[in-house]
Amino acid sequence: MMPDPVSAILLTPLFAAAILAILPGYRIGAVLNVLACLAALLFALTLLWMRPVTGSYLLVDDLNIVFVLLNCFVGLTTSAFSASYIGHEIHSGRLTRTNIRFYHAMYQVMMFGMNLALLANNIGLMWVAVELATLTTVVMVGLYRTAEALEAAWKYFILGSVGIALALFGTILVYLAARPVVGEGLDAMVWTYLLRSAPQFDPSLLNIAFVFLLLGYGTKVGLAPLHAWLPDAHAEGPTPISAVLSGLLLNVALYALLRFKVLLAANPHAIAPGRLMIALGLLSLIFAAFMLYRRRDIKRLFAYSSIEHMGIIVFAFGMGGPLGNFAGLLQMTMHSLTKSAIFFSVGHVAQVKGTQKIAEMGGLTESHPILGWGLVAGVAAIVGLPPFGVFTSEFLVVSSTFAREPVLALLLVFGLLLAFGALLLRLGSIAFGPVKGPVGRLHASYVPMFAHLSLVLLAGIWLPPPLVAWFQNVAGLLR
């Protein structure tokens, strides 16, 4: 008898974490880490045709299946990249085998926390799961135990705690708004019950709640001016964690925000949440685009690129409507695949060059052609050049905005062009020109990087009709 897929998705990483915490060998730990992520992805795929009964704690619908599948897929490819990346870190002496046991165990705990947040039907449980995922990434950012890594982890912890405290207060306010209608106790925290009764809630409480939720979960999304933890966490932590942060954890916080946006939209007397999301999205996009010109560290550069793209995504969902929500979903998916592929390349580039300073890594396409051209393809995709999928999603965001708010569309295009120029400028100095730094060979895994880029390229050329229909259905649910 096949186990319940939701339980399997959640229990697999927990069991794997317990085993990985005691396994002495690096190689067997890396293999088990990959196998656990593969098992979780296979169980997640069964949700496409098996829908467990919704309960008071767990929920499966078209919206969270998108996030769960993306989470498990990128988690698997990142674990495969991690195997070669962490192996190099051991040989270079930057990490010990004790560190690696801890790293692999925390990786699975992080996957558990993110999947639990995505599958939770209880807004309190979702908050706890987001906090668990955050705390595990905090300790992984400080894995190298250098002064800079510990400072980055501490900053992440402090700002993340402020954000999660604001989100908790917003969650409590939603409970208080629901209690007179739904009743006290568990039911007033179950999302499906809340959505059903939302039109009867006190709109003033919902309005205040959403402001706190937007600021709280917006901190986790990396929206400006709540973004300060993100560049340091990317720069000082292991590169696989940078890939997970940009490709997955930001999406988990975004998912929580979207759930509450739907709740607010169901109340006819509450404020329109889209306006606040549009404002923060545009601010993040334009701020990050300017900051890209000042980056000298390659991982910080792409950290600000993540802030920029999360701004675009939040802007798209703020605009809403069938086309805006569809574009937001597609942009989120393309960004997760592309940005993690970029970090797969950047991680090995930093290892082979022995530095993260952009000025010390020129001529990459000549010295290390696979890494260099992989990075070129990744940057071409992330800036929205055709025929990659990011071009399709950004075109949809811009065109749908032009049709409704031309002034906002002009600001959006301004931010996109700013970021386009900054990333191409930096790419030119990294990938081309005279060779700088070491030119030695590196044992690296290129499959995850090119698997992601191939999917992004395919999405730009052809989107399967079932995927389009699925995203259209989810866009309708988001309102």
Give residue-wise pLDDT tens across range 232-285: 888 888 888 888 888 888 999 999 999 999 999 999 898 889 999 999 999 999
Domain ranges of the chain: 273-479
Find, among 371, 453, 448, 335, the residue nearest to 77 by Cα: 448
Lookup result for tokens 């592929």: 341
Residue 345: is its pLDDT beyond 50? Answer: yes
Give residue-wise pLDDT tens across range 219-247: 999 898 888 888 988 888 888 888 888 88
Question: What separation in angstroms does the CA of 73 have from each of 55, 67, 69, 142, 209?
Answer: 25, 10, 6, 25, 33
Give residue-wise pLDDT tens across range 103-153: 899 999 999 999 999 999 999 999 999 999 999 999 999 888 888 889 999
pTM, two decimals, is: 0.95
pLDDT at residue 1, rounded to an integer? 46
At residue 435 the predicted structure's pLDDT band, cuts being 50, 70 and 90, is confident
Alpha-carbon gap, residue 20 to 368, rounded angstroms? 34
Question: What separation in angstroms does the CA of 468 have from each of 30, 324, 367?
Answer: 35, 14, 41
Lookup result for tokens 């067997």: 28
Residue 390: is its pLDDT beyond 90? Answer: yes
Collapse the DSSP code of 169 into the 3-class scheme (helix H, G, I; strand E, B; otherwise coil) and give the result: helix
Find, among 85, 67, 82, the residue nearest to 129 by Cα: 67
Alpha-carbon gap, residue 335 to 222, rounded angstroms? 14
How does DSSP assign 387-417, residue by residue? Answer: TSHHHHHHHHHHHHHHHH-HHHHHHHHHHHH
- The mean of the pLDDT values for the chain is 91
Residue 437: left if φ>0, alpha if ψ -120 to 50, beta else—which one? left
User: Is the Cβ–Cβ distance between 113 and 13 less than 8 Å?
Assistant: no
